[in-house]
Amino acid sequence: MTLLNLQESICYGPVSSRRLGCSLGVNILPFNYKLCSLNCVYCQYGWTEECRLRAGRRTRGLPSPEEVSQSLRKCLATLKERGVTPPYITFSGNGEPTLHPQFERIVRAVREIRDELAPDALVAVLSNSTTVTSEGVRRALELCDVRIMKVDCGDAETFGSYNRPCRGVTLKDILEGLKKLSRFTVQTLFTDRNSSDDLVEEWVKVIGELRPSDVQIYSLDRASPCPELEAMSKDRLRQIALRLEEASGIRAAVY
């Protein structure tokens, strides 16, 4: 397996997703580098060279809301001509989409175009949760129909070594921010680095406190920048899901 190439356009796909099925991706981040607030050991796009919590208005390569609107409108119109309506329009791409300083404005524009050209599609976002501490970001997230938020571990030490956050990001702040968000899904990627019994117990504890509407757990399906990482078997993932349900009554879907 090889690392994925960065997305080279604003709209891409529709692509097949383990968790969303058929999804039209929307990349509101630069095309030539990954912009993220985490440097996760498993990221399919490789290591994060631009690891920061705020993009800033002068960050190079960020598409404007107008460019996003034009790209999405053209893509959806083309798909409509082919008789294709993607079930999801998903903010994802080359890093953390909520780092775009005009994320809320872009979400509103995407919703308007969706209503016009693909009213049955759901607007989704895949987020690493680091910006959920911001009231403005939470307001934008609430505009999305589906909010899939990253929580890979339940203790600060593992968060530091597994997700490798940039300065200013703490697990405690993330969990407090998520508690202020309405209905959302937690996504967790388990490998040998965060799946020991004691670490799973810490994760189960915080998921029980968050009370998400859904939980999705999975393991490596693509290459990672850390070649010694080991994927978890489906049996191990099912054990983790069972432990979560026993402790909190929350069910996790295994992918």
- CATH number, position 187: 3.20.20.70
Q: What is the pTM assigned to this prediction?
A: 0.95
pLDDT for 58 beyond 60:
no
pLDDT confidence of residue 211: 98
pLDDT confidence of residue 178: 98
- Residue 31, domain member (yes or no): yes
Amino acid at the residue 146: V
- Residue 165, domain member (yes or no): yes
Closest CA to 195 of 225, 224, 220, 164: 220
Q: 179-183 contacts: CB < 8 A, separation 24 or more?
A: 179/209, 179/210, 180/132, 180/138, 181/132, 181/138, 181/141, 181/142, 181/147, 181/149, 182/142, 183/147, 183/213
pLDDT for 56 beyond 70:
no
- Residue 1, domain member (yes or no): no
Band of residue 105 on the pLDDT scale cut at 50, 70, 90: very high
Band of residue 2 on the pLDDT scale cut at 50, 70, 90: confident
- Residue 228, domain member (yes or no): yes
Closest CA to 210 of 227, 186, 190, 192: 186
Domain span at residue 236 reads 11-254
In the three-class reduction of DSSP (H, G, I as helix; E, B as strand; rest coil), residue 73 is classed as helix
pLDDT in tens, 137-154: 999 999 999 999 999 999
- Residue 173, domain member (yes or no): yes
Following CA atoms 151, 111, 71, 31 in sequence, which dihedral angle do they give, to the nearest 10 degrees?
A: -20
Rounded average pLDDT over 106-128 = 97
How many domains does the chain fold into?
1
Rounded average pLDDT over 42-47 = 96
pLDDT confidence of residue 212: 98
pLDDT confidence of residue 59: 64
- Residue 193, domain member (yes or no): yes
* Start-end of H helices in 45-126: 65-81, 103-117
- Residue 87, domain member (yes or no): yes
pLDDT in tens, 184-239: 999 999 999 999 999 999 999 999 999 999 999 999 998 999 999 999 999 999 99
- Residue 201, domain member (yes or no): yes
pLDDT confidence of residue 70: 98
Q: What is the mean pLDDT of the chain?
A: 95
The rounded Cα 215 to chain-centroid distance in angstroms is 13
